[in-house]
Amino acid sequence: MAGQILGDRYQVERQIGKQTGRWTLLARDLQTQELVVLKLLFIDEQLQWDDLKLFEREVEILKSLSHPSIPSYLGYFEHELPNAKALTLIQTYVEGKSLEQCLQQGRLFTEAETKQIAKALLGILTYLHGRQPSIIHRDLKPSNVLLANRQLYLTDFGSVKRVSGNETTAFTVVGTYGYMAPEQFSGRAVTASDLFSLGATLLALVSGTHPSSLPRVGTKIDYAKLPNVSPEFADWLGWLYDPNLDRRAKSAQEALHALEHGRQAVAAPAKIAPARKPADTKITLKKEPTFLEITLPSRLGQVQLQIDQQQISMTQKRLGIQTGRSQTSPRKDITQLECSQSADGETMLLIWAGTQKYELKSTPSFTKPELDWLTYELSTWLKVPISR
């Protein structure tokens, strides 16, 4: 159908992909002369309800996204056919090569290259998973990742799903064998399901082999047999690709932090002895099951830290009035507490939320009892590990 004009504006240049009831076309916008991608879903007797639901969801979610590494939504129209019609999604075109094409051409990626790809994809997943509600791609694999102009793009949101933190209902089973997390086979997915798919994708890049064909010991990959992969990186990959959801990385931020600083940075929480509030402290702490607030004296007034079910925020106040913008992050990004000391000897407690850190420091410094008390209260309330 090269040369055909759809929507009175888009001239088809070639077909990019074809599945039952779906076509993906490369076309030229005759108004702007830019190349675009058209994704068509045919409305006919063979159309399945789940296919229509997924297509409509893809359109809806792409409208809400704005990220430099995700092709942009440009529009939508219906195209009339002799015996049916087609719903058509218009997206920006990214001229590049998929990671799958690279693998088919015999390219293997070094550990350093794979780590760079991991960081880029974790950045995209951080954006998607940090939306309210979270957006799960559900089909991350080499063919859906493009390399173009030294930049990575995540494409094909046809399996995308919005989920709230407490969602328990089952939904349509989607994904690709070898790259799909085990829980997706039962129609369930969480943000960590995308991390499993990322781990599978990275394994394919460093080995040149489909994840399902890699050597195994029992149900797990034999990482010792992966060529040119350090034990530390193999351990990190195994953490992402763990079939047991409880043992897998919980968030993209946690995975990125561990990739940059080592798995020990997100080890299991250390057991610490209970610590009481010092009688002479000027720090106040209010704590409920779903809300925590800490107020500390500072050189310029007060620092107020608040954590609820949705986010963590830190605000500077002077005479009870907020000064400047609050620092905020999603609550689910909190991965670690760290007791630290600055170059001038000032003791502080750091709360890591992904790559952001929240510094709690008193004037002139925490006393040891104050530090132990706040560390204990935060660690037990947040259920996160402590690094000293």
Q: What is the pLDDT of residues 193-247, one digit of tens each?
A: 999 999 999 999 999 999 989 998 877 888 888 878 998 999 999 999 999 888 8
Calpha distance 91→36 (Å, rounded): 6
Residue intervals of the chain classified under CATH 2.30.29.30 are: 284-387
DSSP H helices in the chain: 49-64, 99-104, 111-129, 191-207, 231-240, 252-261, 368-382
In angstroms, what is the C-alpha Rg of the chain? 25
Q: What is the pLDDT of residue 170?
A: 44
Sign of CA dihedral 381, 384, 385, 386: negative
Checking if the pLDDT of 344 tops 70, the result is no
Q: What is the pLDDT of residue 169?
A: 42
Q: What is the pLDDT of residue 266?
A: 57
The mean pLDDT of 263-291, rounded to a whole number, is 77
Dig out the tokens for 14 from the structure. 């070639």
Q: What is the pLDDT of residue 204?
A: 95
Residue intervals of the chain classified under CATH 3.30.200.20 are: 5-92
Checking if the pLDDT of 58 tops 80, the result is yes
Question: Where is average pLDDT lowest: 171-175, 281-285, 368-372?
Answer: 171-175
Q: Please state whether the peptide bond connecting residue 364 to the residue before it is cis, i.e. omega within 30 degrees of 0.
A: yes
Q: What is the pLDDT of residue 345?
A: 63
97-262 belongs to CATH 1.10.510.10: yes
* Secondary structure letter of residue 344 according to DSSP: T
Q: What is the pLDDT of residue 363?
A: 58
Dig out the tokens for 224 from the structure. 């010792």
Residue intervals of the chain classified under CATH 1.10.510.10 are: 97-262
Checking if the pLDDT of 155 tops 70, the result is yes
User: In sequence order, what are the residues at sequence separation of 6 or more whose Cβ sits closer than 8 angstroms to the Cβ of residue 3?
Assistant: 11, 12
Residues noted as catalytic: 139
Residue 136's pLDDT band, with cuts at 50, 70 and 90, is very high
Calpha distance 118→120 (Å, rounded): 5
The mean pLDDT of 71-94, rounded to a whole number, is 90
CATH superfamily for 5-92 is Phosphorylase Kinase; domain 1 (3.30.200.20)
Dig out the tokens for 371 from the structure. 């530090």
Pick among 3.30.9.60, 2.10.260.10, 2.30.29.30, 3.40.1160.10: CATH of 284-387: 2.30.29.30
pLDDT tens string 158-191: 888 777 554 444 455 566 888 999 988 877 888 9
